[in-house]
Amino acid sequence: MIKKLIRSILGKKKKDPTQPLILGPKQHGINPQLVSPNAVRVTKTLQDNGYKAFIVGGAVRDLLLGVKPKDFDVATNATPEQVKRLFRRAFIIGKRFQIVHVMFGQELIEVTTFRGASSDGSPKDEHGRVLRDNTFGEQHEDAVRRDFTINAMYYDPATESVLDYHGGIDDIRAKTLRIIGDPEARYREDPVRMLRIVRFAAKLKFTIDPATRAPIPVMAALIDNVPAARVFDEMLKLLMSGHALACLQQLRKEGLHHGLLPLLDVVLEQPLGEKFVTLALANTDVRVQQGKPVSPGFLFASLLWHQVLEKWSAYKAAGELPIPALHLAADDVLEAQTDKLALQRKIASDMRDIWAMQPRFERRVGKAPYKLLEHLRLRAGYDFLLLRCASGEIDSEIGEWWTAFMDGDGDQREKLLAQKPKVAAEAAPAKKRPRRRGPRGAAKTANPGGGGNKESGGQ
């Protein structure tokens, strides 16, 4: 009543949701040189064939922030089949939402058809998550279907104008994240939105609107109902955003980490574990911000290492030899995470290699160090070793020795081999262990020699 009274006094009319605020170049300040020529080519081709077409979503958000987008999405009123016919290398993908991938060399432009109002007849699970919905509609309906106001703006390269249906430009200027529509209903439709808003808040250093934040602690458990592969994709985006540490801190703050990496609850409460994970994520963030490649295998090997350490120690305490014990520990940890994170086989293989190399770094006699130099994943294993040294898990002398050995020439390496290995001497058992007889199949559970490549480095 009070709001209506104020509006009547001030003569303020309720905004028509079908009519966008149109911003010209001087108002929005987007630099056209930051726009992908291929994205412009896609919008122009569609427009030349009588369709509407705009750059949309995160690319527009980044352009408004003066940042060159990594990816460009295009929204159009052309159907996926109509889009596909206009481009030589175009592929329709997706079941839940059909989209078209248009390829230009190594660059991929994702093209979506304007979504219509969500149909009540769309298949949903028992929690309200939409399973499939390919209802097409008008542009203003498409804007309503987008998740956050800052992601619901459209940029037309031809006219250099921005169309804003939900006050996104105001929220960008206020550095505020606000969901479109009823927060609880939108999170039920797609629980991954809760992870996305955490990623944006950490990456952009934006504040989450109180109404948008309120349902998250209560609805966090819905993420358990999302397919593991989709959660893994979102986690990968989060961890490789260049703000991984801030993202994980935000996840913990919002209570969203339990179903994703619950082991972080334990690790981050242990001094060595917290320091190790913090260093790993900080190093990853620096590499991303410097434009260097980042290895998902290295990243997840770092996050899960202290769980492997715990199980490795348990197997050794139970009488298992160190190397087989490490392989068994790796098996247990990877099997436990498969259902939760849907780790890809290549990533899991890289993780095994990195872990399996760690005890080999302690063998600094004879030909063993030279053989390790030939390992395809040496750089990853070495970088991992340095993290262990920096966190205080092992003596820094071993990392310094390997740095000198890898950088040294033949004579320098021989001198290093002639030195008494400090760590190896300290780690030597007090008495010789009796030799085990019989088959040890567990020793073959990992392949420390496979996967990865030296050029990719630790990250």
pLDDT in tens, 139-193: 999 999 999 999 999 999 999 999 999 999 999 999 999 999 999 999 998 999 9
Residues annotated as part of the active site: 71, 73, 147
State the alpha helices, DSSP H only, in 49-145.
Answer: 58-64, 80-86, 139-145
State CA 232 to chain mean position distance.
8
Q: What is the mean pLDDT of the chain?
A: 84
DSSP 167: S
Which tokens hold the place of 102? 């248009």
Across 31-35, 122-126, 246-250, 331-335, which has the greatest mean pLDDT? 31-35
> Where are the extended beta strands (E) located within 204-323?
207-208
Residue 167: Cβ within 10 Å count? 18
State CA 195 to chain mean position distance.
10
State how far the Cα of 79 lies from the Cα of 87, in Å rounded to an integer.
13
Q: CA-based angle 173:249:71, to the nearest 5?
A: 55
Q: Comparing C-alpha atoms, which of 205, 195, 189, 282 is closest to residue 238? A: 195
Q: What is the CATH number of domain 295-420?
A: 1.10.3090.10
Identify the residue with better confidence: 116 or 156. Answer: 156
Domain regions of the chain by residue span: 16-174, 295-420
Least confident of 105-109, 121-125, 271-275: 121-125
Domain 16-174 classified CATH 3.30.460.10? Answer: yes
* CB 80 within 8 Å of CB 113: yes
Least confident of 40-54, 97-111, 300-314, 332-346: 332-346
State how far the Cα of 24 lies from the Cα of 72, in Å rounded to an integer.
20
Which tokens hold the place of 50? 């009588």
Q: Comparing C-alpha atoms, which of 218, 226, 208, 216 is closest to residue 148? A: 208
